[in-house]
Structure 1
Amino acid sequence: MKTTVNTSLLTKNKINQLTPDNNLQLTDYLEVVKAFARLTYQSVYVIDYAQMKFEYVSPNPLFLSGYTAQEVLELGYEFYFNNVPESDLKLLTLINETGFDFFAKLPESQRKNYSITYDFNLIKKDGKPVLINHKLTPLFLTDDGRIWKAMCLVAISNNQNAGNAIIDKQGSDEVWKLNLENGIWGKVLKPKLNERELEVLRLYAQGLTINQIADKIFVAPDTVKYYRRRIFDSFNVGNIVEALSYAVNNKII
């Protein structure tokens, strides 16, 4: 049975016309995207807002809900309407509308420096939901500054619930977090670790144990545990796996 697509998710960034200069940006760019997809564990999508479709979907089975990459490419946004719970579709509508409103208020020269990240549930092939994280950033803009094409990275979320919508600017410690109650983006600062905490986190990322880290940085194991607790508190996470995931997703290590 064919699903009727709710186009409310697509209206905020409708592209009505492209110019020849717009198309000059496209020379072989998908080859770069494909090369990047081969290097990352994450799934990669390219969205074309002029045609309201996916232009590229990497063949990562973890995020395809049992479909092939070609099938998802052909389904386009219908893939989400078929495989995202209704409550999360409403959440995506809110993030879409407020995200494009935020973007429209930015200086055009700065718009490519911003990215948005958020979490929602995707129904797997076995019918069970998995919480995934989307990161989306502009690839190309139209002459009037709208997002024409965007790249999206998909990974397993390090959070417990859907939402967690954040916009950040490359090279800045400032981020904007979406209040889901009132739909307003509020400015916050990224959590910062001191040099010792960063060192401990990087050693954990290398697979070292508490005792090995203690030997490496010439401290007692209890001191390593102290630094680990400070890291957990800074990231608001409960274990080292979540801490490492948070640090990678937020470009801290």
Structure 2
Amino acid sequence: MEEINRFFNDKNEVRSDAEIDRSQMGDYLEAVKAFSRLTYQSLYVIDYQTRAFDYVSDNPLFLCGKSSEEVKELGYAFYFQNVKPEDVELLIKINEAGFEFYEGIPVQERKLYSISYDFYLLNGKKDMILVNHKLTPMFLTEEGQIWKALCIVSLSNSTSAGNIVISREGSDELWKYDPEISKWERDEKIKLSQREYEILSLYASGLTINEIAEKLFISADTVKFHRKKLFEKIGVNNIAEALDYVKTNKLL
């Protein structure tokens, strides 16, 4: 239990007697379950008062051979069993930095923010997969602490753990965290050009390079040129990764 408590922070301590407006919940788990049926991603709901999971979706890719109920029962012990030890320490550092950042946000704006980061899951004794977590508050206490949060897990399009980013809904600003120097740095979201947006939209519709060229009245080589520049801009290697990146980052 002491190990698990390292994932939680005094800045977001939700005591058993915390003032919480429970009317904000409704039957929220039914909505979460419905969403989980429509996405390939895995969903978790974290309760910071009980320090446990309220819900874990049944996606075997991210359960490391366990059932969703087994992971729900394990709670944060799941990470100590199925995450590289150095990445466990990274996750704990991300929690500390995230809550420190969060404390500086006005209470009325806190639900607008989300944090994203990558780490390795041990998928079996030897295999590892790099996954991405995106976490955002669902319900707050009266004092503004996170009571419950939704976490979405997907395959990462990065090549290493870390990549810690906080973003705000409706803003092009974001903040990147460097764990080596324990510092947040302000940045801006990548923006697609009109041509990049058009090409990606047509790729997402299932069109080939030649069909895209015909639709846009340009040559196939021009499509390839814009595609290559886009890959360099967002740091991916192929169109599948590019589509995943822009959808995950709400660029498309």
1:78 aligns with 2:82: no
Ranges in structure 2 where 5+ consecutive residues have no aligned partner: none
Q: How far has the Cα of 1:124 moved from its partner?
A: 1.0
Q: How far has the Cα of 1:227 moved from its partner?
A: 1.1
In structure 2, do the counterparts of structure 1 residues 156 and 96 end up closer, same or farther at CA, with 3 Å as the change threshold? same
* CA RMSD of superposed structures (Å): 1.5
State the secondary structure of the residue aligned to 2:40: coil
Could you tell me how far apart the structure 2 residues matched to 1:95 and 1:21 are? 26
1:39 aligns with 2:38: yes
Alignment correspondent of 2:194: 195
Alignment correspondent of 2:8: 10
State the secondary structure of the residue aligned to 1:33: helix
Ranges in structure 1 where 5+ consecutive residues have no aligned partner: none
Identify which range, 11-20 or 71-80, moves more after superposition. Answer: 11-20
Q: How far has the Cα of 1:230 moved from its partner?
A: 2.1
State the secondary structure of the residue aligned to 1:172: coil
Could you tell me how far apart the structure 2 residues matched to 1:4 and 1:146 are? 21
Pairing 1:37-186 to 2, within 5 Å after superposition: 37-125=36-124, 127-186=126-185
Could you tell me how far apart the structure 1 residues matched to 2:218 and 2:156 are? 33
Identify which range, 157-166 or 203-212, moves more after superposition. Answer: 203-212
Alignment correspondent of 1:205: 204
Among the aligned pairs, what percent are the same residue?
50
Deviations 1:47-68 (A, max 9, x none): 0000000000011111100000
State the secondary structure of the residue aligned to 2:21: helix
What residue identity is the alignment partner of 1:200? I
Contact 1:112 1:137 in 2 (8 A): yes
Could you tell me how far apart the structure 1 residues matched to 2:4 and 2:184 are? 25
Contact 1:18 1:142 in 2 (8 A): no
Could you tell me how far apart the structure 2 residues matched to 1:203 and 1:219 are? 13
Number of residue pairs matched by the alignment: 251
Deviations 1:123-178 (A, max 9, x none): 11354110000000000000110001000000000000000010000011111111
Contact 1:192 1:234 in 2 (8 A): no
TM-score by length of 2: 0.95
Identify which range, 229-238 or 54-63, moves more after superposition. Answer: 229-238
Could you tell me how far apart the structure 1 residues matched to 2:157 and 2:20 are? 40
Q: How far has the Cα of 1:6 moved from its partner?
A: 4.1
